[in-house]
């Protein structure tokens, strides 16, 4: 099998890259190790930055997002029983975010790829990336019980943190930066209308809590728990009781309860692989970087990567110049590190560390009070939350 761009992974990064290339007349093949049903129900992020929403619209994949997604013009910070709303458009020149689940983004992109794009092979397991430092990379893969090889001019690893693409980088030519956090998120989906019309980020002496949503009738909520927590050891009632404690305020706001339909625990880590390119192999999304979920940046970082890469590949096709491909890693890493900074700042601002002291708690409150009282500090948060420029 032969193509111009071989893409490993049919998450939002791989699917959007294939879509952007198709619209520019560049052929590609997407290999996905899981079946279609798994990809379309895999629960991940649900907050799209302004730039991500704009990129999906530009790719012709925004129709259902615009119809069913929920535009949010603010977030709420809660601390010391107080509430402070951050007005995103007022602080960023009109930028906002959209609540639209990653599962829905994938469904939209899969439907478009199968209808209009190049081959998208499910249950096609990439086994390695070979020859990345030569003129024609090869991706051996297994599909329907048979082994085959995808030959391409460029290979792109959108295959996640545990994928095979990163393994093709020479050990002496890469650096890894990472941090593991001593806490995790216990997340639940509940069949109940959200108790607030925007996301609520709460710092509490018992730990962080987040009130989010998937739709006008489905709530998505999170609690900070110790790393390694078993979600099954928390009863529904215990979860609602703890959410109520951590989201409490001095006014008459109340948390609405409903049936819990799903529970899961999300570990928290920061990870960056440098560089994001080796020869004709490029990394994008979780294959290159992981952020803690506090700032809802994982999917958005992946979109930034593939928008940058698609632009570079099209530029090379149209002009013959490799300049944008040569600068791909450096261009992406500038945005990656700013996003890592923001995600780490939000995490340490709102979570209680296991060894936290009273002094640490007062510093957190002081930082939150600064955001609530200073337009400059609030603007810095709003600009990062709605997204740094793509590319």
Q: What is the per-residue burial (b if ≥16 Cβ within 10 Å, else e) of 33-62?
A: bbebeebeeeebbbbbbbbbbbbbeebebb
Closest of 122, 292, 264 to residue 189, by C-alpha? 264
CA–CA separation, 367 vs 371, rounded Å?
6
Instruction: Please say whether the beta carbons of 156 and 166 come within 8 A.
Output: no
Instruction: Please say whether the beta carbons of 211 and 219 come within 8 A.
Output: yes
Name residue, tokens 């690893």. Answer: 157
Instruction: Please say whether the beta carbons of 241 and 203 come within 8 A.
Output: no
Pairing of strands 277-278, 281-283: antiparallel
Sign of CA dihedral 364, 367, 373, 378: negative
25 three-state secondary structure: coil
Is the previous residue joined to 275 through a cis bond, with omega within 30 degrees of 0? yes
Measured in degrees and rounded to the nearest 5, phi and psi for residue 351 equal: -100, 150
Residue 232 has which token pair? 């099954």
Question: What CA–CA distances, in Å, run from 389 to 273, 275, 311?
Answer: 21, 20, 14
Residue 205 has which token pair? 């002496």
CA–CA separation, 142 vs 14, rounded Å?
18
H helices of the chain, where?
12-23, 36-41, 50-58, 63-68, 88-92, 102-116, 236-246, 298-319, 323-326, 328-350, 358-373, 375-386
Closest of 74, 346, 77 to residue 202, by C-alpha? 77
Residues serving a catalytic function are 72, 201, 293, 297, 385
């Amino acid at each position: 099998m032969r193509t111009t761009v071989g893409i490993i992974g049919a998450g939002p990064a791989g699917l959007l890259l294939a879509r952007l290339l198709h619209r520019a007349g560049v052929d590609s093949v997407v290999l996905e190790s899981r079946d279609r049903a798994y990809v379309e129900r895999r629960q991940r992020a649900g907050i799209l930055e302004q730039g991500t929403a704009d990129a999906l619209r530009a790719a012709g994949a925004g129709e259902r997002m615009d119809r069913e997604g929920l535009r949010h013009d603010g977030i709420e910070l809660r601390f010391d029983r107080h509430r402070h709303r951050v007005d995103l458009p007022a602080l960023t020149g009109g930028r906002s975010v959209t609540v639209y689940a990653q599962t829905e983004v994938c469904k939209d992109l899969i439907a478009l790829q199968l209808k209009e794009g190049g081959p998208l092979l499910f249950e096609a397991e990439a086994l390695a990336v070979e020859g990345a430092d030569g003129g024609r990379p090869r991706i051996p893969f297994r599909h329907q019980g048979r082994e085959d090889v995808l030959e391409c001019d460029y290979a792109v690893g959108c295959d996640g943190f545990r994928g095979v693409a990163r393994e093709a980088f020479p050990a002496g030519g890469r650096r890894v930066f990472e941090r593991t956090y001593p806490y995790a998120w216990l997340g639940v989906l509940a069949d109940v209308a959200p108790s607030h019309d925007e996301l609520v980020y709460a710092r509490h002496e018992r730990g962080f809590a987040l009130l989010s949503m998937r739709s006008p009738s489905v709530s998505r909520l999170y609690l900070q728990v110790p790393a390694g927590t078993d979600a099954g050891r928390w009863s529904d009632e215990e979860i609602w009781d703890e959410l109520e404690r951590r989201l409490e305020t001095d006014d008459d706001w109340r948390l609405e309860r409903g049936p819990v339909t799903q529970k899961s625990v999300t570990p928290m880590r920061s990870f960056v692989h440098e560089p994001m390119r080796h020869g004709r192999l490029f990394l994008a999304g979780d294959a290159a970087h992981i952020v803690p979920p506090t700032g809802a940046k994982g999917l958005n970082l992946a979109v930034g990567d593939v928008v940058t890469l698609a632009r570079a590949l099209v530029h090379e096709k149209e002009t013959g110049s490799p300049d944008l491909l040569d600068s791909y890693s450096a261009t992406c890493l500038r945005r990656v590190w700013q996003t890592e900074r923001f995600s780490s700042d939000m995490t340490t601002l709102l979570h209680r560390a296991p060894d936290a002291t009273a002094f640490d708690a007062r510093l957190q409150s002081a930082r939150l009070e600064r955001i609530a009282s200073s337009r400059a500090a609030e603007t810095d948060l709003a600009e990062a939350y709605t997204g740094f420029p793509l590319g």
